[in-house]
Amino acid sequence: SQQGEEDPQALSIQEGENATMNCSYKTSINNLQWYRQNSGRGLVHLILIRSNEREKHSGRLRVTLDTSKKSSSLLITASRAADTASYFCATSGNTGKLIFGQGTTLQVKP
């Protein structure tokens, strides 16, 4: 069953703007990962944040994690047309299995 909920489901912005996606989950986790998927192809791993971390950066990506609210956010700064894709959060517990959110479809207009 799907644990995560993401919002918004769809987001359309202009190139250069920032994009923020949110993810909520229900059970306790060991880590939370964000993935990108272009046009139904394979998933590209973006960033992993552990349950004892609150914020992480990677290039133009910033991820936050609030375990008290069971939520995470992904911020993409200075967006580009190439960032157009679907973005998924996925949580992992002790078993290593990932439970995915429903995803956010991002469109960046040139």
Partner 1 sequence: SAVISQKPSRDICQRGTSLTIQCQVDSQVTMMFWYRQQPGQSLTLIATANQGSEATYESGFVIDKFPISRPNLTFSTLTVSNMSPEDSSIYLCSVGGGRLDTQYFGPGTRLTVL
- Residue 42 backbone dihedrals phi, psi, to 5 degrees: -65, 165
By CB under 8 A, is residue 50 in contact with partner 1?
A: yes
* Using rule CB under 8 A, residue 98 touches partner 1: yes
Does 59 sit near partner 1 (CB under 8 A)?
no
Contact call for residue 11 and partner 1 (CB under 8 A): no
Please give the Cα distance from 62 to 83 (Å, whole number).
14
Nearer to partner 1, 41 or 69 (CB): 41
CA distance 55 to 19: 17
Query: What three-state secondary structure class fits 39?
Result: coil
**Part of the chain binding partner 1 (CB under 8 A), chosen from 19-27, 29-37, 62-70, 73-81:** 29-37
